[in-house]
Structure 1
């Protein structure tokens, strides 16, 4: 049996592993309501996801009126507290993910998460979904220190180090994901079902998948390219 070409497969979290849009939208709308603002629709919040909760709040405030630093400082802790308390009410894995993870497990590949979500929230979400033991490590946007979230290569390099080294690939849905992989010198796969802000082809990934049924064959093809 031919050896699987990657020792480590890393994943972004929001919009890649899980559809978190409902719970993130609820958290944004909770913060907006505290300032007397009307709620945003999920479709409005989707483009705001990917650069961390503070950026998402800033974008939500800007879309609903105005945003200033004092308002962000007041509402940000409220958003985080609400989200932590309601983190997995609507969140679910994307179709085919669990089967793809089982295939990677069977192939001997370690599976990891590198997200721009705060580490404690990512760990909490994975635990609420009963999937803690499925991931070798979880690295958040704050894990490597301020200013070192994706697209910095540092979280990807830390993922590889924590997994004991080896050949790695990364799966994501944003320019931060493909950029981090590129900066770390590893191949990337973009998911077309993620929280995209434009055509998936513009992300510059080495491959694109439209369903998790395609992941393992695409990884094998990328691995064969050297």
Structure 2
């Protein structure tokens, strides 16, 4: 795909760059206890099925017995505890080859991030992984309140990109790419499944082969 004409590689985070679900499950369960709300607790497997969706959708999926106001309140607690836990984490939770590959390819490719996460999560991800110097721009649901497809289009317009490719791990990512009108590369090592993609990554390092062919 060398000289493919893409002027941007847009990345998902969870299930693509790293896997925080074990850490986040502990943090969210702490938040649930602290909230005083009668809400069921979570585990890493449950979160892997939910991550990639917008925060309000996740809250509705996990705690349908709560009112919308209670769901919003609890998710706010969860996000606060999550950020503390991830910031304090000392274990390497990035997928193999992600950081090295982005650093290597950034000399010839422009990398961006679009996620359905809360505001502040992308910044924390870049800080913890050391990827801040290699990410040109980013957008998220927490900042705009818009869908992933819309945020992809917002980021592309802001950076005057006429051609980009998105790397993600779920059907939701695939659907967002179709809606945004850009091709999709499936990170098959992540949390979900996909059926329509231009390339499949068994390992993030595979990206080097794709962009040098």
- Give the alignment's TM-score, normalised by structure 1: 0.79
The RMSD of aligned alpha carbons is: 2.4
1:103 is matched with which residue?
104
Q: 2:29 aligned with 1:33, yes or no?
A: no
1:191 is matched with which residue?
187
TM-superposed CA distance for 1:39, in Å, is: 4.1
Corresponding pairs, count: 208
Taking the aligned partners of 1:98 and 1:9, their CA distance within structure 2 comes to: 14
Q: 1:206 aligns with which of 198, 207, 211?
A: 198
Taking the aligned partners of 2:130 and 2:99, their CA distance within structure 1 comes to: 12
1:128-207 alignment runs, 5 A limit: 128-143=128-143, 145-146=144-145, 148-150=146-148, 152=149, 154-196=150-192, 200-202=193-195, 204-207=196-199
Q: 2:58 aligned with 1:56, yes or no?
A: yes
Taking the aligned partners of 2:206 and 2:20, their CA distance within structure 1 comes to: 22
Taking the aligned partners of 1:157 and 1:37, their CA distance within structure 2 comes to: 36
TM-superposed CA distance for 1:123, in Å, is: 1.4
1:78 is matched with which residue?
77
2:116 is matched with which residue?
116
Moved more, 49-58 or 131-140: 49-58
Structure 1 runs not aligned, ≥5 long: 222-226
CA contact (8 A) 2:18 2:94 kept: yes
TM-superposed CA distance for 1:85, in Å, is: 1.8
TM-superposed CA distance for 1:186, in Å, is: 1.6
For residues 162 and 41 of structure 1, do their structure 2 counterparts lie closer, same or farther at Cα, with a shift above 3 Å needed?
A: same
Taking the aligned partners of 2:33 and 2:21, their CA distance within structure 1 comes to: 18
Question: Does the residue aligned with 2:106 lie in a helix, a strand or coil?
Answer: helix
Taking the aligned partners of 2:152 and 2:23, their CA distance within structure 1 comes to: 26
Taking the aligned partners of 1:213 and 1:178, their CA distance within structure 2 comes to: 20
Taking the aligned partners of 2:15 and 2:166, their CA distance within structure 1 comes to: 14
Taking the aligned partners of 1:122 and 1:93, their CA distance within structure 2 comes to: 14
CA contact (8 A) 2:99 2:129 kept: no
TM-superposed CA distance for 1:70, in Å, is: 4.2
CA contact (8 A) 2:98 2:204 kept: yes
CA contact (8 A) 1:12 1:115 kept: yes
Question: Does the residue aligned with 1:32 lie in a helix, a strand or coil?
Answer: helix
CA contact (8 A) 1:23 1:91 kept: no
